[in-house]
Structures are given as structure tokens and as C-alpha cells.
Structure 1
Amino acid sequence: MTDFADFFVDQAAASSHVQFIYDVAADRVTFVNEAYEKVLHGRCEHVNEELPALLARLHPDDRAYLTQYCKLWLRGQVADEVEVRLQEPGQPDQWFCLTPHHQSANGRVCVGGTLRDISVAKRYQQNADNFNSRKNAALEILSHDLSGAFGVVQQVAQYLSEEVTVPANSRVGDMLRVLENTSRNSMKMIRDLVNIEFLASANTDLKRDRVEVAEVLRALLEELQEGQRILGQVFEYSLPTEPLYAYLDVNKITQVLTNLVSNAIKFTPDGKRVVVRVEACPGSVRLQVIDEGIGVPAALQPQLFERFTKARRPGLRGEQTNGLGLALCKTIVEWHGGNITVDSAEGIGSTFTVEIPQATAEATAH
């Protein structure tokens, strides 16, 4: 048994990640490996003296969260990893992932763990999330722009077919029918492309991280606002001024928001407003998409979130729907422990509200 204990001690000492043990009663770090010096630039023999300065580098938004997490950790009530940020003046935040351990024997409590530097992975993920957000927004803007243009062409072709007398032996009638069918098929192909992208995202595994909500949504909302400005639509948004954290799969939540905005634009006449509002509520994050559109008939509202719902309708500019979008939005929101509701009146508009729990240390407990 001693040989195995020595083996694990040697393994911890040689690890490239910071390994440590903290004796709660003695209020001291009793073991830290050499990775501490390489990763955190301290001295192993001075770790206890350096600990206050190290903790002072914690990101202000993480301090209260980590304090609550540590209370649960000392009681042996957490097993999930936690991510924290350390600050250094003039440098990007340094991200760490802590894998916690707890041991209690004979009235003595020790906590320990592995601290991994995940800064590179976090920056990569943030860049990927920003790219996906902008890509999703661009696809929606493009789909509405092109769908609107093809819709006009289709309507003109229909009008000419009905109103213009075509001379005998003329191919004009056939050409108008080709123009009408091509426009209709092009609109369908564009919407199918966007729907496939949404379905592909919804069917991937859920990967939630503790994120600052305004930070991860801002790029998407800016892109949507600029795109709607170009198209002549009125799109506004507001974000909380204070940091607001939630456990989110960023790509999936941005897909939900994009889908809700897309639906709002479909049923909102030109010149009317679509507004996104993000705010803190007691224990939750609230996202609202508010439009001044045609509204949803009361009889259809109970069916809106059903798969292949009978409540689906073409948009004001001929946009088609497969009846899956809102059902998938509901599924994704519920995966996050939240809920989605609608409040709508015909001729006045609709408000879709998503509420997701705020991030708390208790959410990581057993």
C-alpha cells in the first residue's frame, strides 16, 4: 500500500498541472507540486505566504461565486469542476479549471485538487462562439433579404400571369410560370439552409459554461441590428449594465435568440419595431423578444411550441416555416433548466420570454 501511495505522490509531483492539498484545521497548504512555480510563478516553499496575493488576483465577478463554492467544497458537497479567472495588469485574463477533492477522516478535513490552465482553450471557444453568432445572424439576414427579393419577383410574375393577355403562340406565359416557380423554390431553398443549420446545432451535445450573458450575446445583437438597418427594419436591443452570469451552451442559446428574432421579423411589417431585452430577475436571466407585428391568434397560442405545429404560418414576405423552430427553442431552453412563454395579441404584437437560472455555486453541488 505504501508503494502505491508513493506512486501517486510522485505522479502528482510530476504533473504539469498544479496539484495541491490544503489542511482546513491548520489553515495551510501542506502540499503543492512544482507546476505551481511554472504556471502561477510562485515559490513552492512560500505558497502559504503568497496565497493572499494570489486570491487577490481573482476576477471581481468570480469572488462571490467562488466563496460560495468553497463553502460547499469544505463540506464535501461539490464534485463538479469550476472555472475561475485570475487578473494581471496589462495582460489578458488567465483562465483556470479546478477539479476539487475532499477528504474527511478522524475529524480532520483536507481539500485538494488539480488546477489546469485553460486560457488558450477559453480564447479559442470564445472566438468560435463569436464566429458562430455572427454566422447565424448573417444567415438570417441573408435569408430575409433574398427571400424578400424572390418574394417580390414571385408576386410580380403572378400578377403578370393574371393581368397580361399573352399573344397566341407566345412563350411569355411559360416564362412567367418558370419565373414564379424558380422564385418560390429559391425561397424554400434559402429557408431550408437556415433550418438545417438550426437543426444541426440543436442536435449536438449540450456544453454549458458559466458565462457573462451580455458579453456572449452582444456580438450577435450588434450583427442583427446592423443587418436590419441595411434592410430598412427597426431593430433595437438592451443589455444589463451589471455583470449577469448563467450556465449556457452559447451556440445553442444564440440559435434560440436568432430563431426568435427571425420569427419576429417575419411577422412584423416594415417600419415597425423588433426589440430584444436582456435583464436580471430574482434568480434568473430574462431574455425577451418583443415585436409590433401582426400577433398570434389566441386559438393558436397553445400549439405554438409543439413539433410540426398547426400554428405555423407563412411570413408577411412569403417566408415559409417547417413548424419545428419554436419546438426546438423550447427544448433547448428546458435543457438549460429554463422556460419559454409567449404573450401576444392580434394587431398589436408578440412578446416571447425566455427565463434561465442565474449561475450559482449550488448548481455544481451533488
Structure 2
Amino acid sequence: MESTVFHDLTEKSSVASFVFNINTGKFIYANPAFASLVGANYDELTPNHLSEIIHPEDRVYAQKALADVLGHTLANYVQLRILVNNEIKWVRITASQDEDKTGEMLLYGNVADITSELENQLSFEKYANKKDAILNILAHDLAGPLSVINMLGSSLRSSIQDPADITQIDNIININTQAINLIREFTAREFLETADITLAKKRVNIAQKVREYVEEYQKSITDIKRTFNFFTSAENIFINVDEPKFFQILNNLTTNALKFTRDNGVITVSVIDKGDVVQFSVKDDGIGIPEKYKDILFDKFTDASRKGLQGEPTIGLGMYVIKNIIDWHNGTLWVNSTENMGTTIFFELPKI
């Protein structure tokens, strides 16, 4: 009775479901939603058909995911692309294996079409990238002039005698200092809010994500007075990564490049597929890092934490937190820098 009810519910469900016999290599059940999603009737469902509709760039990833399922090590779900009737769809697959009463090993799974969900998420992330770019530009463009106002105010104060004028200048300095502190607190809070140790990794097209990130800076070239370039070795490069923490790395490296690169300088962000890992770099032609700071660059609260060329604030944790995030991803981080010629920060993250 329970089996019949379950079967009837599954047949009418919009959630694609299947049962695959691992021993025989055949599907023993697939509901109409599954057949519709993969573009095949039940009697046409074979492992070969499913292999053929998986996007070529995702097939190695799919094989690894299947091995994880069979080895009972799959974490949560798998997201990949399928090509059905010349249309690319993103699907989320949840699967597990179990032994039936006759000793046969069965693979049970659900498949959901998440194409629209990812498109909406991509739209949201574009606005998030715009927000990050605006925040970094504001911190860069406002902190410098405000610091100069404070220095000029202090210099002027020492040269006047009238108590009323001194009071007015002190008011200006105090208000200006509050503005500088507000920028410092805002950028510090924005930086630290995703710096906790919990990772929520998912598979993302990192080449596309970084390209869109850089494009936001390219749109602001008049405001930031820097040229931003982007290079990738392939249009699509997929990696399992905690996306907010990854962009915390990129935000901080981009901010540093802005802080230590003069007007009309060039900043280049690169993404290179190197097989099992992806290499990222942020390169500038700025003032470089003094030799004495290189060994302590990734430590917290050291002299390597410097104000920017326009007095932009620092919280002394940036490179330290970045190194920790990269370590949590089992990645590597290193720097090439020459004073008065520029700096390139490299880091590599494993794809899986």
C-alpha cells in the first residue's frame, strides 16, 4: 500500500526522480518529470544517453561525483550542465545508494532544474560586485582628501592665535576625523564580516565571476584614474569554492592595488586554468613592497600594514585573513614585488 501511494505521488511530482540498478547498469524507475528533463522516454534511458547530454566541460566533474556517491563521500549535492534539444540547463542532483532486499545495489536520486535560480542569483551577484567596487572606490577617493584636510587643518591651527578661530578649526578637524573613522569602520566591518572559518563551498564558473567583477571597475575608470585589465586562459573555468570568501580575497587585493598604485597606473587581474588547480593573480605597477616587509606581509598587526598613497586607512588584518581563507581552501599564496615597479600577488586554489 505504502509503495503504491509513493509511486503515485512520484509519478505526479514535478521533481525528477530515478532509481538506477548499479549491478545491471540499467534504470529500473524514472518518473515522467525525469524523462522530460533529460529529453528521453523511459525505454531510451541509458547511462550512455545521460553521459552524452552532460556538458563536455562537466563530464570529468560528473565522473568524480559519481565515484563519490559510490564511495559514500558525496557532500550534499552536485550541480552541472546538461544539453537537451540544443538548450543548456543547470541541474542539481542529489543521490545516494542502498541495497535492496535481493542484494542489488540501487542508486536513488532527485534532479532539479535550477537554471532560473542561478540566473537570478547571477543577477544579484552582479549588483553585489557593483556594491563592492563602489565601496572600494569611495574608500580610496574619500579617505585620501579627508586625511589631507586634517593635515592642513593642524598646520593652520599652529599658525593662528585667535581662540575663536582655533575653536572653529578644531571643530573642522573633529568632524573630519569622524568621517575618516566612519570610512575605516565601514570598510573594516565589510572586510571582516565573511572572515569566519566556516566554509560553504559550491561549484562556480570563476572565470565568468571574476570577469564581471573587473568589469565594474572598468566602468569607473574616470573616477579611480586607473586602468583595469582582465585575462583568463579560458572562457569557462569551474572550481569548488566558498564564493563570498573568495571575493573577500579579491576585494582586499584589489583595494591594496588601488591604494599603492599612482594615478594612470595599470591593474591586471588574471585567472589561469592549470589542470587540478586554478591560479589567480592581481598585478599592479605601483610603488611595490619594501624588502623588509615581505617576510611579515601575511602576519597581523605589523609594520607591513601601511596607509595608502592618499592616506587610505588600514586595519592591519587584510593579508593575514586572506592567507587564512586560502589555507582553508588548501591553496597556496605568494608575492612578487619590486619597489617602484609594482607588485603581483598570486594564489592557487584546487578545483575540487
Aligned-residue offset at 1:90 = 7.5
Compared with structure 1, are the counterparts of its residues 171 and 107 closer, same or farther at alpha carbon in structure 2 (3 Å cutoff)?
same
Secondary structure of 1:83's counterpart equals strand
More displaced 10-residue stretch of structure 1: 101-110 or 169-178: 101-110
> Is 1:97 matched up with 2:101?
no
> Is 1:258 matched up with 2:251?
yes
Aligned-residue offset at 1:107 = 8.5
More displaced 10-residue stretch of structure 1: 62-71 or 238-247: 62-71
| 1:32-51 map, 5 Å | 32-37=30-35, 39-40=37-38, 42-44=40-42, 46-48=43-45
* Alignment partner of 1:208 out of 173, 179, 201: 201
Aligned-residue offset at 1:43 = 3.8
Residue in structure 2 matched with residue 65 of structure 1 by the alignment: 61
CA contact (8 A) 2:211 2:230 kept: no
Residue in structure 2 matched with residue 281 of structure 1 by the alignment: 274
Compared with structure 1, are the counterparts of its residues 235 and 122 closer, same or farther at alpha carbon in structure 2 (3 Å cutoff)?
closer
- State how far apart, in whole Å, the 1-side matches of 2:319 and 2:80 are: 34
Structure 1: runs of 5+ lacking an equivalent = 360-366
- Give aligned-pair identity as a percent: 28
Residue in structure 2 matched with residue 135 of structure 1 by the alignment: 131
CA contact (8 A) 1:136 1:255 kept: no
Aligned-residue offset at 1:135 = 1.1
Compared with structure 1, are the counterparts of its residues 24 and 89 closer, same or farther at alpha carbon in structure 2 (3 Å cutoff)?
closer
- State how far apart, in whole Å, the 1-side matches of 2:2 and 2:298 are: 56
CA contact (8 A) 1:140 1:262 kept: yes
Compared with structure 1, are the counterparts of its residues 196 and 228 closer, same or farther at alpha carbon in structure 2 (3 Å cutoff)?
farther
Residue in structure 2 matched with residue 314 of structure 1 by the alignment: 307
| 1:1-366 map, 5 Å | 13=11, 15-37=13-35, 39-40=37-38, 42-44=40-42, 46-48=43-45, 55-70=51-66, 73=69, 75-76=70-71, 78-80=73-75, 81-88=77-84, 93-103=88-98, 109-162=105-158, 165-166=159-160, 168-169=161-162, 171-203=164-196, 205-359=198-352
Which amino acid is 1:321 matched to?
T
- State how far apart, in whole Å, the 2-side matches of 1:289 and 1:185 are: 32
Compared with structure 1, are the counterparts of its residues 89 and 27 closer, same or farther at alpha carbon in structure 2 (3 Å cutoff)?
closer
More displaced 10-residue stretch of structure 1: 29-38 or 217-226: 29-38
- State how far apart, in whole Å, the 1-side matches of 2:236 and 2:86 are: 21
Which amino acid is 2:220 matched to?
G
Which amino acid is 2:205 matched to?
E
More displaced 10-residue stretch of structure 1: 146-155 or 262-271: 146-155
Compared with structure 1, are the counterparts of its residues 89 and 108 closer, same or farther at alpha carbon in structure 2 (3 Å cutoff)?
closer
Q: What is the number of residues matched between the two proteins?
A: 350
Which amino acid is 1:145 matched to?
D
More displaced 10-residue stretch of structure 1: 220-229 or 198-207: 198-207
Shift >6 Å, 4+ stretches: 3-8, 104-107
Which amino acid is 1:338 matched to?
G
TM-align CA RMSD: 3.0
Show CA shifts across 1:283-336 (max 9, x none).
211111122222223332222222333421221111121111222211222222
CA contact (8 A) 2:68 2:74 kept: no
Compared with structure 1, are the counterparts of its residues 42 and 259 closer, same or farther at alpha carbon in structure 2 (3 Å cutoff)?
same
- State how far apart, in whole Å, the 2-side matches of 1:60 and 1:38 are: 21
- State how far apart, in whole Å, the 2-side matches of 1:242 and 1:40 are: 26
Which amino acid is 1:147 matched to?
A
Show CA shifts across 1:311-363 (max 9, x none).
2122111112111122221122222221222232333322211110124xxxx
CA contact (8 A) 2:195 2:321 kept: yes
- State how far apart, in whole Å, the 2-side matches of 1:28 and 1:171 are: 90
TM-score normalized with structure 1 length: 0.83
CA contact (8 A) 1:216 1:250 kept: no
CA contact (8 A) 1:129 1:251 kept: no
- State how far apart, in whole Å, the 2-side matches of 1:198 and 1:136 are: 10
- State how far apart, in whole Å, the 2-side matches of 1:238 and 1:84 are: 25
Secondary structure of 1:115's counterpart equals strand
CA contact (8 A) 1:132 1:251 kept: no
Q: Which has the higher contact order (CA 8 A, sep 6+)?
A: 1
